[in-house]
Amino acid sequence: MFRTPLTLFRTLAIAEAISWTLLIAGLILRATADLSIAVTIGGGIHGFVFLAYGATAVLVALNQRWGLGPAAVAIVSAVIPYATVPTEVWLHRTGRLRGAWRLEAGDDPRDHRPLDRLLRFFLRRPWVLGILILAAVALIFVVLLVVGPPGGKG
């Protein structure tokens, strides 16, 4: 399904932008029609997609060997409404999303570092990787739900 880092990153960047729309619509409905449930639903979806996008940005940054700057821009872009889409366009145009998943070690000495070996191990087992990422995102999501919304009121 996500044969390249580009397709995965693009999908989550667009999903994150859509989730912003749901959150903003929920805020508008709460303010105009006193429908607090709209924020609960839109905010919940946005929160989960926000975390999934962040995990995806980290995974793709590791695979593509981005420096700290592009990785930070990709992750922070989720905080700004709709910024993930122009970020994806920028990363694509600058070649940072080019290429395939690094499933095999090459001639690059970095391919033999423990983190790269671990990354290849999981990339060769995408179902395991997907389940682990989903479980981590779900765990963080649940912890954040228990802690409560920003500002203490929902």
Please give the pLDDT value at position 148: 82
Q: Do the domain assignments include residue 69?
A: yes
* Rounded Cα–Cα distance for residues 10 and 18 (Å): 12
What three-state secondary structure class fits 97? coil
Please give the pLDDT value at position 32: 96
**Torsion sign over Cα 139, 140, 144, 147:** positive
Of 10, 87, 112, 104, the C-alpha closest to 56 is 10
Token digits for 84?
């993930």
Q: Do the domain assignments include residue 111?
A: no
Q: Report the C-alpha dihedral over residues 124, 125, 127, 133, rounded to 10 degrees.
A: -90
- Read off the pLDDT of residues 124-154 as tens digits, 9 standing for 90 and up: 999 999 999 999 999 999 999 899 876 665 4
Q: Do the domain assignments include residue 34?
A: yes
Dihedral pair phi/psi, residue 27, rounded to 5°: -65, -40
Q: Do the domain assignments include residue 91?
A: yes
Which H or E run contains 105?
none
Number of domains the chain is built from:
1
* Rounded Cα–Cα distance for residues 142 and 60 (Å): 24
pLDDT lower than 50: segments of the chain: 154
| Domain region containing 69 | 5-101
Please give the pLDDT value at position 152: 62
Of 54, 89, 97, 50, the C-alpha closest to 72 is 54
On whether the CB atoms of residues 9 and 39 are closer than 8 A, the answer is no
Q: Do the domain assignments include residue 96?
A: yes
Q: Do the domain assignments include residue 144?
A: no
